[in-house]
Amino acid sequence: MSEAKETRQFEAEVTQLLKLMIHSMYSNREVFLRELVSNASDAIDKLRFEALSDEDLFEGQTDLRIEIEIDADENALILRDTGIGMSRQEVAENIGTIAKSGTQQFLEKMTGDEKEDARLIGQFGVGFYSAFMVADRVVLKTRRAGADEGVRWESRGDGEYTLSATRREERGTEIKLFLREDAEDYLQASKLEGVIRRYSDHISFPIYLIDPAEEEEQRRKQVNEASALWTRPRAEIDDEEYVNFYKHVARAFDEPLTWIHSKVEGLLKFTLLFYLPTERPLELMGPDQRDVSGVKLYVKRVFILDDAEMFLPRYLRFIRGVVDSDDLSLNVSREILQDNRVVASMRKTATKRVLKMLGGLAEDPEEYRTFWESFGAIFKEGIVEDPGRQQEIAALLRFASTGVEGKGQTVSLDDYKERMKEGQEAIYYITADTFDAAVASPHLEIFEEKGVEVLVLTDTIDEWVVSHLREYEDVPLRSVDRGALELEQLGEEKSEVSESDEDRDQIPEKWKSVVESVKAKLEDSVRDVRLSRRLTESPACLVREEWEMGERMRRLLNQAGEAVPAGKPTLELNPDHQLVMRMQQMEDDEIGEWARLFFDQARLSEGAVLEAPAVFVRRLNKLMGELAQQ
């Protein structure tokens, strides 16, 4: 044998995980069987795939199966598969470390609540280690298809493992679990059969249960259906089977919110089974989100590819499931798939079906809200990414709004349209970092007064969404801080002589010198100064032209390292505000001081960071002091 026995340490994280697993996952431990069977099935899938280009890997043995054998003498359970197996290096990489970026996050998320933590385990893909929930010693022997030598791995789950070479005739992996005393009920065939049926009926390869204690002809029996779930007619599959299959393909522990299973038969023939998860999978969380899709590609029932992102647009990357094509060739590669007419056409159909599924889900607002909270921020990217379906996607968006009571409540654009006031010409929105910051904005004063609803957008992506979504069903979307407002006359008797735009911009005689003076003082910072019609309480606010970038977008771009200079907004002063009225009696210098103060205030309320906050504070205190003396 070429390499001697060696003892290695687990990564610190693995050890920590094992401890947790052993001590806290007691109530749900039967899932170890599902995890190991699931790995075995993946290994056979991989073998079949690799053998497409190298038939020798079968080594003349095309019997693809999983076996579970009871060894009552040793109080052990043996799981065998005729899959791809592992090389020494693969064993060390896959079983001794947790290469997944999620491990640390997983450990941080552990709650101490058994059920919750057991559920998390699945999400974080630590399947193999679940063996230690029932075993105090695990021996794994494996030989990679085509390799001469096998590998033996052994551990007690206590921080170290040994690796050694071993002679092994059979290709694939064998895992022997020496059961803990309190887990010996897994030596009962009936118990095992129940668990396998519950969790693994959908596995496409036969699973045999071997019980040497039985009579000869009963000794080895197949316990699952062994036909790929998606190939079976919908009517014959019950919800539980669908849910269990989801847990297998998605490697998840949550329940799917909903799913679609359809056979497409036309120019192209393919089957898709797509699930919408309830919770955001780990790989789609946090700053180092991996940009993976959760779709597996099969061709004529043979597994071809994980993360087959070409079958759905990016904004649907939360979908988990399977596509099985009859048209593609078995030896397609990822590169070929990227630019392929058949794939493009499948993707179109798949996208349509998913959007339709979401439309259906939206009929149940509670369920839809769950979807929206988990995936809304991803789904919104579709507005930017998929202009051809923009309106369809827009109908599925949900927004916080001043029109609904209670945080967390959302509205659709259709809801909004239904509530629009007579004469209202646009769908109004405000963007801010938080809901509370948004609703306190001076820009909303006129909307509140007129009873006009405003959508409140607080996700980072929203800035991009609204810059691409110009209208919904012919109604323009408009930011509350843009241009002149057409709200004044809403809900009021139209005046006999309606004002022309020019008239509206006319500044009454008594204000002229104040406005001129403010304009001169703030020349470097503002484009224009005018009297406001949108403020009822605040003294001032900033508005921008339709084409101008908003303050929040500017800030986000700056944070992303793209330097965008501050624009020159227009300052609007509220002519009915006490402090603003006082300006009429002020000297030029004093007007300048107040103008600066109003300008800075308006910027602060937009969420901007002042260049010199201390100057602002000093000015504020000085002017308050003067007022106090009057």
Which residues are at the interface with ligand ADP (CB under 6 A)? 35, 39-40, 43, 81, 83-86, 94-95, 125-128, 173, 251
In this complex, which beta carbon is closest to ligand ADP, that of residue 102 or of residue 569? Answer: 102
On whether the CB atoms of residues 315 and 379 are closer than 8 A, the answer is yes
Q: What is the CA radius of gyration of the chain?
A: 33
Closest separation between CB of residue 98 and ligand ADP, Å? Answer: 8
Closest separation between CB of residue 150 and ligand ADP, Å? Answer: 12
Instruction: Report which secondary-structure segment, H or E, holds 274.
Output: strand 269-277
In this complex, which beta carbon is closest to ligand ADP, that of residue 39 or of residue 244? Answer: 39
Closest separation between CB of residue 307 and ligand ADP, Å? Answer: 13
In this complex, which beta carbon is closest to ligand ADP, that of residue 251 or of residue 555? Answer: 251
In this complex, which beta carbon is closest to ligand ADP, that of residue 248 or of residue 398? Answer: 248
Residue labelled with tokens 């170290």: 160
**Burial of 160 from C-beta contacts in 10 A (0-12 / 13-18 / 19+):** middle
What is each CA distance from 422 to 417, 418, 455, 482, 484, in whole angstroms?
A: 11, 10, 18, 21, 19
Closest separation between CB of residue 62 and ligand ADP, Å? Answer: 17
What is each CA distance from 567 to 64, 377, 549, 603, 610, in whole angstroms?
A: 67, 28, 8, 12, 14
What is each CA distance from 208 to 62, 79, 220, 223, 374, in whole angstroms?
A: 16, 10, 6, 6, 39
In this complex, which beta carbon is closest to ligand ADP, that of residue 81 or of residue 463? Answer: 81
Closest separation between CB of residue 123 and ligand ADP, Å? Answer: 10
Closest separation between CB of residue 35 and ligand ADP, Å? Answer: 6
Closest separation between CB of residue 455 and ligand ADP, Å? Answer: 40
Instruction: Report which secondary-structure segment, H or E, holds 194.
Output: helix 189-200
On whether the CB atoms of residues 427 and 478 are closer than 8 A, the answer is yes
Report the C-alpha gap between 394 and 465 in whole angstroms.
Answer: 10
- Helix ranges restricted to H, 83-150: 88-95, 102-109, 114-123
- The tokens describing 336, both together, are 């070929």
On whether the CB atoms of residues 97 and 11 are closer than 8 A, the answer is yes
In this complex, which beta carbon is closest to ligand ADP, that of residue 33 or of residue 413? Answer: 33
The amino acid at residue 506 is Q
In this complex, which beta carbon is closest to ligand ADP, that of residue 93 or of residue 626? Answer: 93
Residue 63 phi/psi, 5-degree rounding, is -80, 100
What end-to-end distance do the CA atoms of the chain give, in Å? 98
Closest separation between CB of residue 84 and ligand ADP, Å? Answer: 6
In this complex, which beta carbon is closest to ligand ADP, that of residue 199 or of residue 372? Answer: 199
In this complex, which beta carbon is closest to ligand ADP, that of residue 320 or of residue 478? Answer: 320
In this complex, which beta carbon is closest to ligand ADP, that of residue 128 or of residue 464? Answer: 128
Beginning with the edge strand found earlier in the chain, give each strand of the sheet holding 135-143 in spatial order: 6-9, 160-166, 150-155, 135-143, 172-179, 76-81, 66-71, 207-210, 220-222
Closest separation between CB of residue 173 and ligand ADP, Å? Answer: 4
Paired sense of beta strands 172-179 and 207-210, if any: unpaired
Instruction: Report which secondary-structure segment, H or E, holds 529.
Output: strand 528-531
The strand pairing partners of 66, in sequence order, are 81, 207
Closest separation between CB of residue 48 and ligand ADP, Å? Answer: 13
In this complex, which beta carbon is closest to ligand ADP, that of residue 81 or of residue 462? Answer: 81
Closest separation between CB of residue 249 and ligand ADP, Å? Answer: 12
Closest separation between CB of residue 351 and ligand ADP, Å? Answer: 28
Report the C-alpha gap between 481 and 464 in whole angstroms.
Answer: 16
Closest separation between CB of residue 15 and ligand ADP, Å? Answer: 15
Q: How many CB atoms lie within 10 A of CB 416?
A: 21
On the CB side of 71, CA atoms within 13 Å amount to: 13
Closest separation between CB of residue 172 and ligand ADP, Å? Answer: 7
Closest separation between CB of residue 548 and ligand ADP, Å? Answer: 49
In this complex, which beta carbon is closest to ligand ADP, that of residue 62 or of residue 231? Answer: 62
In this complex, which beta carbon is closest to ligand ADP, that of residue 126 or of residue 272? Answer: 126
Find the residue with minimal CB distance to ligand ADP.
Answer: 127
Closest separation between CB of residue 40 and ligand ADP, Å? Answer: 5
In this complex, which beta carbon is closest to ligand ADP, that of residue 125 or of residue 376? Answer: 125
The candidate with the shortest Cα–Cα distance to 87, out of 133, 46, 131, is: 46
In this complex, which beta carbon is closest to ligand ADP, that of residue 124 or of residue 270? Answer: 124
Phi-psi region of 584 (alpha: psi -120 to 50; beta: other; left: phi over 0): alpha
The amino acid at residue 563 is A
In this complex, which beta carbon is closest to ligand ADP, that of residue 46 or of residue 220? Answer: 46
DSSP 479-525: ETTBSS-S-TTTTSPPPSSPPPHHHHHPPPHHHHHHHHHHHHHTTTT
What is each CA distance from 433 to 440, 462, 537, 553, in whole angstroms?
A: 12, 11, 22, 11
